[in-house]
Structure 1
Amino acid sequence: MRTHSSSGFNTIPENVAAVVLSHLTDPEDRVRLAAVSKVWRDAEKGGVVSLPGTSSELSELGQEFRSAHKHGKAIYWFEKSADHGDPEGMFWFASYTFAGYTGGACTEENYNKAVHWWKRASELGHAEATKMVATCYEDGHGVERDFAKAIEWHVKAAELGCGFSASWLGSAHLYGRHGLTPNTKEALKWFRLALELGDANAREPWWEVSRINAHVLEAELAAA
Structure 2
Amino acid sequence: MANPGNAYLAQAKRAVVLHGHGEAAFSLLERSAGLGNAEAIYAIGTWHLFGTHVRKNFRKAAEYLQRASDLGHAAASFDLAVSYEKGKGVERDKGHAFRLYMKAALLGDRQAKYEVGRCFYWGIGTAKDRQAAEVWYQAYGQEPQAKAAASRKPLARLHGH
**Is structure 2 residue 2 aligned with structure 1 residue 57?**
no
* Residue aligned with 1:178, SS: coil
Alignment of 1:15-164 (within 5 A): 54-68=4-18, 69-101=20-52, 103=54, 105-106=55-56, 110-164=57-111
Question: Aligned in 2, Cα 1:177/1:72: closer, same or farther, shift over 3 Å?
Answer: farther
* Residue aligned with 2:88, SS: coil
What's the TM-score, normalizing by structure 2? Answer: 0.79
* Segments of 4+ moved more than 6 angstroms: none
Aligned CA RMSD, in angstroms, stands at 2.2
1:186 maps to amino acid:
A
Question: Aligned in 2, Cα 1:202/1:61: closer, same or farther, shift over 3 Å?
Answer: same
**Is structure 2 residue 130 aligned with structure 1 residue 184?**
yes
What's the TM-score, normalizing by structure 1? Answer: 0.58
Q: Answer 1 or 2: higher relative contact order, Cα 8 Å, separation at least 6.
A: 2
Cα deviation code 1:73-110 (max 9, x no counterpart): 2222111111111000000011112223454x32xxx2
What's the offset of the Cα at 1:153? 0.8
Paired positions, count: 146
Question: Aligned in 2, Cα 1:128/1:62: closer, same or farther, shift over 3 Å?
Answer: same
Tell me which residue corresponds to 1:199: 144
Cα deviation code 1:167-187 (max 9, x no counterpart): 11112223x142545433101
Gap regions ≥5 residues in structure 1 = 1-52, 205-224
Gap regions ≥5 residues in structure 2 = 150-161
Cα deviation code 1:5-52 (max 9, x no counterpart): xxxxxxxxxxxxxxxxxxxxxxxxxxxxxxxxxxxxxxxxxxxxxxxx
